[in-house]
Structure formats: C-alpha cells, structure tokens
Amino acid sequence: MTKRAAVILAGGEAKRFQTLGGGGRDKALIEVSGKTMLQHIIEGISDLVDEILICVNNLERKSRYQNLLRGNSLIDKTKIVIDLNYPLTSGPLVAITTGLKASIAEYCIILPCDTPFIQSEVADFLFKACGESDIAAPVHPDGTVETIMFVCRRPQTASIAEILCKMGRKRPDDLIRGSSIAHFISTYTELKPIDPEFKSFININSPKDLAQPKTRVKSDGPFKKSIKIRLGAPNAKELGMLEKALENLGKSEAANAIEIFSELAKEFEEKQIHFWAGICRENLGKTIEALLGLKADNLQREWVEEEAKAAFLKAARNYSLEAEIYRQNSIYHLAKHAQLDEEWCRRKSSAGNSDRQQMLKHS
C-alpha cells in the first residue's frame, strides 16, 4: 500500500473572486509569484507523498487542470478525480470523501487549493503526528480547528466520510468529531518552530488576500498544548449496520432502520461515543417522524410524535456531552458545532409536527 498521499480540494466556486461580468474565477488557477496556487501546492508537497489527488466538481475543470499540468514532471503521481454524487449533501466533505476513496495510501493529507504557501515541514510533522491516531488536525490558540487541512489514516476515515455523506451531513469537521482518536496539534507550540510566520495557514480567498497575504493563526488563546482525545467511532460491523439502516430508508423499510438506529444509539451511549450516539438518535427521530406521513389514527400519531420528540431530546443530550469534552480542552470550534447540533435537536424535540417537517426540509 502507498504510504502517503495528498488530497487537494479544488472544486469551490470562489465567490469572493468575482469577475466584472459576475462570474467567479477558478481560485486554483490564480497566479501567486508567477505560478498558479495549484502548482505551488503540488510542488510544495510532492517530495513528501507518493500520490497526489486533485478533487474537482466537474469534467470541464478536470480538463482545465490536465492542460495546466501537461508536461509537468509531477504529472505521473497526480490524478484528477471528479466529486462523487451524494444526493443529500455537497461541498468539501464530498470532495474529501472522493479523494480518500480514490487513494490507495495509508495516510492522506487534506489541503485546500487556496493555501499556496504550505510548508513541507508542517505537512511532514502532521503525517508523523497522526501515527496511530485517526486524524491529526492543527488547532490555533483561540480553539479554531483546521477542518480542511489535516492528516488522516485513510482506510478508517474514508469509511466514516462516506457514511456521513450518505446521512446528508455537510460540515467537514464531522470527520474529526466522528474519528476514534483525534490528535489536536497546537500550531503555536508545535508548528511555530518550523513555520515561524505561519505561512502554511495563509488562505488566498479574495483579491485583498492576494495583495496582502495574512495568516489565520491568532496568538491569543488558551490552546497551547497538543492533546490526543479518544472520542470513539463505529467499528466495521457497526458501520455495516448504519449502511443497512440507510439502505432501508431508501426502500421505505422504516421499521428496520428504526431498530438499527435505536440499537446502535444504545451501544454508543454505553461506550460514551457521544457524536455517534447523537447521530443515531437524530436519525432515529427523523425516521420515526417520517411515519407521521402515513395514515394512522390520532392515538397512533400522538404516540409517534412523542417517540420522535424523545429521540431528538436524547440526541441533544449526547451532543451536549460531546460539546463539553471540547470545551474542557479549549477546542472551541468543535464545541460550537456540537452545540449547534444540540440546539437543532432541542428545537426539534419541542416543536409541533408541522414545525418539525419544515425544520427537516432546511436541515
């Protein structure tokens, strides 16, 4: 198996790089110091990896990049892949999933296409820091996590990523929240000695950034020491059960899905795997709620509504427990997102049926 790979995310719309005609420019092809950002990243990371995967969102962009790289000595280790189609979600999580599934490496570094100054020493540090963890993600002193710049163990993370996409999850930080062991790397303590100006964390998102590149790292904040947290994740059998539950939903076999989500939620709660317990309880609530669309008498509808509310409330409690773990460790970025999931589920648990249906449409 190939040891290391780089997955470059290059399918964004670049809305802040609008042309006069109103269309967006392709960020990856914007030149910085005489080279496109994509070229900078490929050349900066190439000596560390055995393969490079560039994830794009359409065939036109794939052809454009192939033309750009034609004749480049690194083309042999570079592969351009078009994002997979997941009906319930889109965005960077899909691109990450696409890259991980297309790779054959044991470890992958995920990189956005707008970080042209990535330092090879930083990437190498993250590869080594991942080790036996599932993910090694940089965290800034203010508790902000780099959610699309991290190293992961590919086989485990690819399986998790695909399940999250099939569930309709959108945020890439779910990959970190859903990992078994996450190694949170202090940018201030660990990475500053090898990247003093934090160039690796400069994003070129707009013409202003192009004129005045600025790092995202802020020196103020309590997160100054790296930490490994054992969060817990589904094993192969449990992932298979989640897959089966989702397939049953597609076949309208709700009873089977309800049974699986309920069983897994209990198992995860016993193991204190809060994120996945929350996910299962939330999907249990959504699946039960779908039964309200079936013909039933008032007594049955009342029972179904109460069961759905109870599932959402238990989901909220699990997300609350997850958020507290991150707060205690000053990882405020993930704490905030766990709290957002908690708040959504609490609103669902207290809403009437018509309100819950509207919330589902916009979730």
Q: Provide the pLDDT for residue 20.
A: 44
For residue 14, give Cα distances in angstroms to 3, 36, 80, 113, 161: 32, 15, 19, 11, 24
* Phi–psi pair at 78, nearest 5 degrees: -110, 135
Q: How confident is the model at residue 213 (pLDDT cuts 50, 70, 90)?
A: confident
Q: Provide the pLDDT for residue 208.
A: 86
CB-neighbour burial class of residue 250 (10 A; exposed 0-12, middle 13-18, buried 19+)? exposed
Q: Provide the pLDDT for residue 362.
A: 45
Tens-digit pLDDT profile for residues 325-334 = 999 999 999 9
β-bridge mates for residue 145, sequence order: 139
Look at the alpha carbons of 313, 228, 145, 127 in this order and tell me if their dihedral is positive or negative.
Answer: negative
**All domains of the chain, ordered by start, with CATH?**
2-229 (3.90.550.10), 234-362 (1.25.40)
Tens-digit pLDDT profile for residues 289-312 = 887 765 556 667 788 899 999 999
The DSSP annotation for 104-138 comes to -EEEEEEEETT-TT--HHHHHHHHHHHTTSSEEEE
Query: pLDDT above 70 covers what percent of the chain?
Result: 90
Reply yes or no on whether the pLDDT at 76 is more than 60: yes
Report, as an integer, the average pLDDT of 115-122: 97
Instruction: Please state whether 226 falls in left (phi above 0), alpha (psi between -120 and 50) or beta.
Output: beta
Higher pLDDT, 11 or 112: 112
Q: Provide the pLDDT for residue 361.
A: 47
Helix, strand, coil shares of the chain as percentages rounded to 5?
A: 55, 15, 30
Reply yes or no on whether the pLDDT at 107 is more than 80: yes
In what helix (H) or strand (E) does residue 32 lie, and over which residues does it extend? Answer: strand 31-32
Report, as an integer, the average pLDDT of 33-46: 93
Report, as an integer, the average pLDDT of 334-351: 96
